[in-house]
Amino acid sequence: MAAGAPRVFVSHLSGISVFDPNGDQVGRVRDLVAMLRVGRRPPRLLGLVVELATRRRIFLPMTRVTGIESGQVITTGVLNVRRFEQRPTERLVLGEMLDRRVHLVETGEEVTVLDVSVQQLPARRDWEIDRIFVRKGKAGTFRRKGETLTVDWGAVDGFSLEEHGQGAENLLATFEQLRPADLANVLHHLSPKRRAEVAAALDDDRLADVLEELPEDDQIEILGKLKEERAADVLEAMDPDDAADLLAELPEEDKERLLTLMQPADAADVRRLMAYEERTAGGLMTTEPIVLRPDATVADALARVRMEDLSPALAAQVYVCRPPDETPTGKYLGTVHFQRLLRDPPYTLVGSIIDDDLQPLAPGADLPTVAGFFAAYDMVAAPVVDEGGSLLGAVTVDDVLDHMLPDDWRETEFHLEEEAADHGGG
């Protein structure tokens, strides 16, 4: 950015692409790193936290930034791909400054930080935080109308203090378009205090989706900081197989207490899954596939497939069964694949187009058997049927991969550092 250019508000930088001089994308901005200074001097902006395609987070010094414009960051092309580690003197602008409650120096009035702006100093490559956009009012009034104003950094006090009960609404707003896996990655890199605050601010469904993507230790930590009634609600919103995996890691008394607080039907599904060995088809399956009776039509099936809360794997096929429709069902008759639904007229009965050639999985089938089934038949989901012929659930390919990868795979990026280094140095 040229000297004298207008200021940039940091909320506009979250998630924007970072390019090298050749126009190749190297990653996305996930946060900014600032260093507080003595007195009321504006903090110096040290650099950006950039997430590479490998999901590794690196530090990009502001001295390597040659331009911030048109929703993109341009770098010199020289990147150090060593993992970013925050130092004690550093502050994450998005993660730790937004939503913070501070005080106006002149009046002592409490205000909430909605955004901050950064600006490059004239004739230098240094950057600093120069202004703060705040809303007047006490904590917890984010959704109410209140006077907003932009003030100089020196006009507020309170950033150097450790704050309890910091909100998270504005931080979440900067990440609202992220997929659950990406938001989980954001949470994983926050401090435990901030992680708990963000989790408390998420609604049950969003938190459930994010928990499913977090490492086991983070899942247990977040669940343990929720009130028990809310923890039960979040478990209900999770896929039953993921909820069962999480509960299995808790002490027996905590597990039983949460199951008791859950809705009986949801708790029953989870208890049923926990009865199977973890690395079997029964332990891997979800109990909520699309189940239709044979007299349902293709139009009925497509309406179910279009439900937005279904994963792509579960939406890839429907399972045709005799009543009852809930798992465990009546007699399993066969599967209808999504492509077949697209080829047949809407009034066609699904019972007339079922694929019954493939043998379903038994609940006791071990992980290698399940993986071999998926590989041999190019499947993304497979039915699990008991000895009596009832459909118990469906295993999806993502759950198979979850259990075939190393236990810490969510915390480990794909090992492409050499390629990233070569690309960054281009």
Give the three-state DSSP class for 292: strand
**Residue range 188-215: average pLDDT?**
90
Plot region of 39 (φ>0 → left; ψ -120 to 50 → alpha; else → beta): left
For residue 408, what pLDDT is reported? 66
Q: Contact at 8 Å (CB) between 353 and 336?
A: yes
Residues contacting 212, CB < 8 A, separation 6+:
180, 238, 239, 242
For 108, 115, 161, 162, the CA distances from 138, given in Å and listed in that order, are 12, 17, 17, 18
- What's the angle, vertex CA 158, arms to CA 153 and CA 162, rounded to 5? 135
Q: Report residue 425's pLDDT band, with 50, 70 and 90 as the boundaries.
A: very low
- The count of other CB atoms within 10 Å of the CB of residue 192 is 11
User: Whole-number mean pLDDT of the chain?
Assistant: 87
Please tell me the distance from the alpha carbon of residue 390 to that of residue 322, in angstroms, as a whole number.
9
Choice among 93-107, 109-123, 136-150, 268-282 with the minimum mean pLDDT: 136-150
Whether residue 294 is preceded by a cis peptide bond, meaning omega within 30 degrees of 0, is no
Strand partners, 385: 391
- The count of other CB atoms within 10 Å of the CB of residue 388 is 9
Plot region of 339 (φ>0 → left; ψ -120 to 50 → alpha; else → beta): alpha
Please tell me the distance from the alpha carbon of residue 23 to that of residue 19, in angstroms, as a whole number.
6
Choice among 97-111, 163-177, 181-195, 360-374 with the minimum mean pLDDT: 163-177
- What's the angle, vertex CA 330, arms to CA 285 and CA 241, rounded to 5? 15
For residue 412, what pLDDT is reported? 60
Its pTM stands at 0.73
For residue 161, what pLDDT is reported? 58
For residue 256, what pLDDT is reported? 95
Please tell me the distance from the alpha carbon of residue 48 to that of residue 59, in angstroms, as a whole number.
6
Radius of gyration of the chain (CA): 26
Cα of first residue to Cα of last residue in the chain, in angstroms, is: 21
Which tokens is 137 given? Answer: 């009012």
Choice among 103-107, 127-131, 309-313, 324-328 with the minimum mean pLDDT: 309-313
